[in-house]
Each structure stands twice: as structure tokens, then as C-alpha cells.
Chain A
Amino acid sequence: MKFNFPITELESDTFLIQPDSSVIDLSIDEIAEESGYERGMIPDYFRDIIAESIAQCRSISRPVCGYRILSVNKEHSSPESIAIGDIRFNCQKIVKARLNNADQVAIFSCTIGSEMETYASRCFEEGDAVKGHFADVIASAAVEFLTDLLHNHIAESILTQQLNVTNRFSPGYCGWPVSEQKTLFSFFPNDFCGIKVTDSSLMLPKKSTSGIIGIGSSVKREPYTCNRCSQKECTYRMYRASRSGGR
């Protein structure tokens, strides 16, 4: 799916996109699978709750995403880090190995806003924990879906220059310290996408993503190799598994 929404260039090579929430396209089956159920095995009662929460997500979310294209400083990079100008990300070996041939990177962030997390919390407070649980799972899947769209958009926008993209990688995943979230956001204008980073590197709204995508003529997007990572309960791993049909 493509972004059919206006893209604003805030400053040189920094773009902001505000799609309509109806762009979020999640299926009941994939949410069921993320919750542990084999395809078709979730009770109808839960299917109905998931359907209601997906509709709620499409109605109340406020998606915003953006990115900035930057050149890689290969001289300052190492087997475990990638440098942009004088700033070095200690992204560790798993991530760096996949960014090795990148000449540029797209640093990105996405959010669906705080509305779904408020909704989930309210469900818990009102004693409907099942609905609250599914609202939280759906919100996580929604922001990953939005990030998929942004990833595809970046890939398409550079195709005319004969360039490709890598997979995307985020602080907190694949061994990359989450504390580098702050460094990553230092490349964006203030309040970019309406996301704030706390002292403990938590993004607010919580249903937000950020990360880095390599760009170059000799890089490629590969199937995700989550089995190489030690984080078995990782949200992204579960999201990918639900989209590919296996863990």
C-alpha cells in the first residue's frame, strides 16, 4: 500500500507525513495470531472484541510519521557502530552488518498518537481487561503497520536514483541499546511527529517507533532473521511472525 497523503519537507531532506487513521489496515486473524491463537482458532467472542478494537483504532488514532536522509561517515564507523557526521550509533554487530554497504541512512519515527493507549487503560479501569488487552495489541500492530508503510514509501522514493533500502532497525532491538533513542531524535527538529523521549529513553506517545534504514546501491531488504536475536518476546518479532505465519 502507498501513502496517498501530502508529504511536507520541513527542512532539507526532512519529511513529515500525516496520513488519515483509516490507512491502518489490520486483520482480525493477524491480531489473533499475535495473541497466540492459531489461524481460525480464536473464539468468536474474542474475534468480535478484536473487530471492535480495530474499528476504534482506525477511528481515533492520529498517525504521524517522518524521516530524514543523512550521509554515513564510513571513516568514523566500526564493525559495531555507524557514524553520521561526528555522531556514532553503537548499534552492535547484528544491525551494523546489515548497514555495512549503506552510503546514506533514513532516520525515521512513527506514532499513532496516545488515543489508543488511553482507550486501553480506560477498558482496564472499567473492568474490561480483555478489551484493554486487545486494544494494546492492536495499537502496537497499528504503529508497526504504519512503519511498514513509511518503509515502503522511502524505498519507492529512492528507486528513481537506482538506490535500495535495508531492513529497518530500532534502538532497543537486536542488541542496540535503547538509550541511543535520544541520539536518534537529536537528528530531528524539536517535537518531530509529536514524539517526546523521556530520560529513560521511552517514547511518548508509547505507541511510537523510531529507527534507521540503510540506503545505497548495493544494499537490500532481506527476510527478517529474528531467530538470531535473544529477545523471544519482542513485540516486533511477534508482529513479523503474525504477518509471515510463523515464529
Chain B
Amino acid sequence: MSELIEKIGICVERGKVNKASPFPPDMKGLDGADEYTKLAIEAKTSADAILQACNDGMQRVGEKFGKNLVFVPELLMAAKAMHAVMAHLKPFFQSGTVKTKGTFILGTVAGDLHDIGKNLVSMVIEGNGWKVIDLGVDVKAPRFIQKISENPGCVVGLSALLTTTIANMANTIKEIKTTSPTTKVIVGGAPLTAGSAQEMGADGYARDPQAAVALLNSIGVS
């Protein structure tokens, strides 16, 4: 059983989604996260143990990403393998046997229509065991506030790529903090720095998807 768990972790780390996937080349033709998770569940492995193996796999690929040993495509393949596992674990989440790490509400702020960076963050965070509610692009503060009220204890992520929409990001944080002072807000996007994030009242700044995961895991949920 522990061997299956180990293999699931390796498949997530290497981005081996299923047997049909030719990636990574040295695992071509072998079972992937999909098949091993199915076997693990049939062997009555606990869903928590499977989830932990996934998180460990994502953690390892994240560390490689931080050292420039792998790049965004490998990170996305790992997230895809994690999704394959999650598909099998869905019934356990629905029954409450296992729980997500928390809810992450994500969106690109008002006036900004860039979505690729946000989509990458969404995939990687979801792959790390968070429930992600992606509100899309050009999201105004009231929409964030409405979703926060529907998801108590959530963490909010704001994205912006334009210097002109940084002001909208700051205003969104201000409005969120006014109506929901305990809600943690993290930010990311090309024009931002840790300093500017702090100045606008954000609880954290993530320069890439893996940094966002580390930040979320350190913030946790209330």
C-alpha cells in the first residue's frame, strides 16, 4: 500500500497523468496518477494518505521550480496529474471524509483583462488541495465581497498585470478589509513587489504560482 502511495507522489511530482500520457518520456507506457489512485482506493488506502502524497509531490516539484530545475510547463503537468487524483477523491470530499485545505477566491481586478497568469495560479493552487473559486477577469470589489460572505474563512487572491490597475487592486483590498477585516488577501502580478503589496494593505505577495501555494499554506484558514 505504501508503495502505491509513493508512486502517486512520484507521478504528481513528475506530471505523469495516466498511462496514455507520453510525458515524462522516461515514464512513457507506465501507469500514472490516475491508475495508481484507482488501485490505492481499491486497496482501501485512506483518502487522506493519498492527498498527502499529492501534496508532497507538488511540494517537491515546487521546490524544483524555485531552483529553476523545472519550469511552468512541468508545474502545470504536475497540477494536471494532481487533478487526475482529485477526480478519484471527489466522493471523499463530498462525503466529508477528507477536507480541502480551504477556499481560495481568485480574480483579476477591475479594469484588467489578463487571465493567463491567474489561470496558472488557479491550477497550481487547486492542485495543492485548495478549493478554488475563480471569478475571472475585470472583477469589481462588490463581487469579491459577495463571494467572501458566501465562503467564510476563505482567502482571497487578486491579480493585476497593468500599473494602471494597481490602484483598483488597492481599492479592492480596502473595500474587502472594510467589510471583512479578518479575510486574508494575497496579491500577485508583474508590476507588483512585496513592498507595494504591503503598502496597499495586502497580507502577502506571491511572485509565482508556487510562492502563492507556500503563502496560502502558511496563512492557512481561520
- Chain A interface (Cβ < 8 Å from any Cβ of B): 35-37, 43-46, 120-121, 124, 127, 129-130, 132-134, 136, 172, 177-179, 198-202, 204, 206, 231, 233-234
Contacts and interface: CB of A to CB of B under 8 A. Distances in A.
Contacts of A136: 116
A130 B74 CA distance: 8
Interface in B43-100: 68, 71-73, 76-77, 79-80, 83
Which of the listed residues A134, A177, A200, A201 has the most CB atoms from chain B within 10 Å of its own CB? A200
A130 B164 contact: no
B145 interface: no
B76 A36 contact: no
B14 to A, nearest CB: 11
Nearest to A198: B111
B25 interface: yes
Contacts of B76: 129-130, 133
Contacts of A231: 190
Contact of A45 (B24, B68, B114): B24
Contacts of A132: 116, 119
Nearest to B167: A200
B48 to A, nearest CB: 26
A35 B73 contact: yes
B127 to A, nearest CB: 10
Contacts of B119: 124, 129, 132
A198 B114 CA distance: 13
A129 B115 contact: no
9 contacts: A43-B24, A46-B73, A129-B79, A129-B80, A133-B72, A133-B120, A200-B112, A200-B168, A202-B164
Which of the listed residues A134, A178, A204 has the most CB atoms from chain B within 10 Å of its own CB? A178
Contact of B71 (A37, A120, A129, A178): A37
A45 B113 contact: no
A36 B111 contact: no
A209 to B, nearest CB: 15
Contacts, number: 72
B71 A36 contact: yes
A169 B114 CA distance: 22
B73 A130 contact: yes
A54 B70 CA distance: 22
A179 B112 CA distance: 13
Contact of B164 (A44, A124, A133, A200): A200
A46 B120 CA distance: 17
Nearest to A48: B22
A37 B115 CA distance: 23
Contact of B80 (A127, A199, A200): A127
Contacts of B162: 172, 178, 200-202
A234 B123 CA distance: 23
B3 to A, nearest CB: 26
A72 B15 CA distance: 55
Contact of B120 (A35, A129, A172): A129
Given A43-B25, A133-B120, A178-B162, A35 B113 contact: no
A133 B72 CA distance: 8
B179 interface: no
A206 B112 CA distance: 11
A36 B112 CA distance: 26
A53 B111 CA distance: 29
B113 A202 contact: yes
A21 to B, nearest CB: 21
A53 to B, nearest CB: 12
Contacts of B73: 35, 46, 130, 133-134
Contact of B163 (A43, A121, A134, A172): A172
Which of the listed residues A132, A177, A204 has the most CB atoms from chain B within 10 Å of its own CB? A132
A45 B72 contact: no
Contact of A200 (B22, B25, B83, B111): B111
Contacts of B72: 35-36, 133
B171 interface: no
A178 B164 CA distance: 7
A241 B51 CA distance: 40
A201 B164 contact: yes
